Amino acid sequence: MSDSASPSGNATRDAKRVGGWTGAARRYAVRTLPPEKLLPDTQPAYMASWIYVFGVLTVSSLIVAVATGCVLALEGPGWWHASSVGKYVNSLHLWSVELFMFFMVIHLWGKFFMAAWRGRRAMTWMTGAVCFLASVGTAFTGYLVQQNFDSQWISGQAKDGLNAVGIGAWFNVLDFGQMLMWHIVLLPLVLGLLTAWHVLLVRRRGIVPPIDALAPEPDEQSAATAVQP
């Protein structure tokens, strides 16, 4: 007789079903991302290097870019082009993006030379790479919606390139409304979701050790439930 057909097996199966889909989702979330991994007390000693700082610098710059973008959306181009406060917030939006790309490229170099896809971290690497591509698209559409001669010139140049690869009729850089929606709705949504996924994967798998270092053993809190390789 199998275990699932026995009275104790039925009781175990019933216990697993408690709470319906919300209970199942909670159990999955806690199993996948236990609190001690989500918000750890300690980090491995090899994290004491400046090269591990650039991921959080990238996320910090992204938060400033999104926050200033929300203020720009509230007030509109008449404000960010004409008033002194508007110009200041517009500059904060630009320079936070400059720093975001700057830090993200150094983060990318650091993780590439560390072969950060090791130790079941392939999805962490891939979500980061797609984040980079989404960021390029978000920055590009941002340049197109400045509503000045600069954006007009950039879109005029870009249309030839995009027409040459055959997507100009669908992704029309001269269509201001379409570019604005890509910049403030679609691409930030994709970038936000991918960034959240990327950070959760970093928490789940842990930061990648340097190539000649050993990852630490699970600490006392998680040792009881850790699966030995």
Partner 1 sequence: MAVEMAYSELAAPVDLNHPGHYVHWGVVQISVANLVVIGLMVLVFVAAVLLPFPKGRGRR
Binding site for partner 1 (CB under 8 A): 41-45, 47-51, 53-54, 102, 105-106, 109-110, 216, 219
Q: How far is the CB of 8 from partner 1 (least distance, A)?
A: 39
User: Rounded distance, CA 200 to CA 67, Å?
Assistant: 21
Answer for the pair 65, 93: CB distance below 8 angstroms, yes or no: yes
Residue 28 or 109 having the CB closest to partner 1 = 109
Q: Count of residues for the chain?
A: 229
Question: Are 89 and 80 within 8 A, CB to CB?
Answer: yes
Query: Smaller CB distance to partner 1: residue 10 or 42?
Result: 42
Nearest distance, CB of residue 59 and partner 1, angstroms: 17
| Amino acid code (one letter) for 83 | S
Helix (H) or strand (E) holding 197: helix 187-205
Query: Nearest distance from residue 53's CB to partner 1, in Å?
Result: 7
Cβ at position 51, least distance to partner 1 in Å: 5
Looking at beta carbons only, is 139 or 181 nearer to partner 1?
139
Query: 204 near 122, Cβ under 8 Å?
Result: no
Residue nearer to partner 1 on the CB measure, 102 or 197: 102
